[in-house]
A = this chain, B = another copy of it.
């Protein structure tokens, strides 16, 4: 599994927001170093720095060039790395900072959402060899012509995971929560912290609304088998490991329950029942760059059927606009939308080998008097759309039904 005693630690913007925060991170890094590990630290821009830089750009123009926007934004992380290096020096350890371009984090040229192609580890390994803590600016790289690029939302997580991948070591993501829970502990007080879950489970949890890790960094970790740990900047406790699935993981039926209230349901009713209708509806949405989820086509009645799907609330106005002419053309009877919905999802690789999970979930919702509007399932996930006003009740009811098993898994 690569080099022993090497770790990549990533600290987000709130962890380096001001001088006190930066000193706290420095002490934490130094403690780890003195415990005998080699440490590579990835940092984000401090607190509100990115917002301030964005504001500067919009004072100049409504449509800033993407290339120059990346030149501007990348300064935020550069400030953080220099300050953290100084703070580590003040604690008496050697440290050296690198921007993305300095360690040749080469990306494609998609400014604002670039993808990492390669990283040159030579300067990092050389500095580690001299017993320096290595500090790398997250979120940034350069393309093959030397232009500065940024990686988009959650980019610092991606930088950290990519570094861990090329260095062959685990990656610790420090954040303001102490791990991944069986459900959002602010809503479900019985929720317990998970010790371990698989990449696929984390991906389902993340896409279902657990905002601890960016989807893309988990995908990256999965692709390169990087063990990830989500843990708190503010405590010494072990966090939650996100790792490759192993044979014991299926012993636990369900890993967690999530809720997502950011979607809206669209229903096209009374669609004539002939081939190609679903393709036509999905086609216009795809052309408008609108992602859809939970597509359900209700069985045919008198040669007509209903088609429902969910989109994010932000995409709803545009979706209605592009669908209106299609609905007319197809001769469908109506186009309706409901923003007041919530999607409650049950996630766990154990579902594959355990039957009856869906039935238990539906019963739990029924027992709480909650009507199910839509259902979709995958190998390791079951999602139900319910009325938005019952969102938290639904989460609690489903969590309660699987609580004992999940706690055993945590």
Contacts and interface: CB of A to CB of B under 8 A. Distances in A.
A56 interface: yes
Contacts of A56: 19, 79, 83
B79 A72 contact: yes
Interface of chain A: mostly helix, strand, loop or mixed:
helix
B75 A78 contact: yes
A143 B290 CA distance: 47
Instruction: Determine the interface band of chain A, counting residues with CB < 8 A from chain B.
Output: 35 or more
Contacts of A89: 61, 64-65, 68
B81 A71 contact: yes
Interface stretch (A94-102, A255-263, A328-336, A402-410): A94-102
A147 B97 CA distance: 9
A370 interface: no
Given A71-B78, A75-B78, A123-B146, A83 B65 contact: no
Contacts of A147: 102
A67 B96 contact: yes
A57 interface: yes
A83 B99 contact: no
A74 B102 CA distance: 14
Given A72-B79, A79-B75, A85 B65 contact: yes
Contacts of A22: 60
A82 B69 contact: yes
Contacts of A74: 78
Name the residue in A19, A68, A82 with the highest tally of chain B Cβ atoms < 10 Å from its Cβ: A82
Nearest to A18: B59
A142 to B, nearest CB: 8
A62 to B, nearest CB: 8
A218 interface: no
A53 B60 CA distance: 22
Given A72-B79, A78-B75, A81-B71, A86 B64 contact: yes
B86 A68 contact: yes
Nearest to A57: B86
Contacts of A71: 78, 81-82, 85, 97, 99
A23 interface: yes
Contacts of A85: 65, 68, 71
Contact of A59 (B19, B59, B97): B19
A60 B46 CA distance: 14
Most buried by B among A65, A81, A96, A99: A65
A79 B53 contact: yes
Interface string A131-151: 000000000000000111000
A85 B70 CA distance: 12
A87 interface: yes
A300 B101 CA distance: 65
A286 interface: no
A87 B83 CA distance: 30
A90 interface: yes
Contacts of A102: 146-148
Given A74-B78, A101-B101, 6 more contacts: A65-B86, A67-B96, A68-B89, A72-B78, A72-B82, A75-B75
Q: Which 3 A-B pairs have CB atoms at the shortest separation, nearest pair first?
A: A72-B82, A19-B59, A75-B75
22 contacts: A19-B56, A19-B59, A22-B60, A23-B60, A56-B79, A56-B83, A60-B83, A60-B86, A60-B87, A61-B86, A61-B87, A68-B81, A68-B82, A68-B85, A68-B86, A68-B89, A68-B97, A71-B99, A72-B78, A75-B78, A75-B79, A101-B101
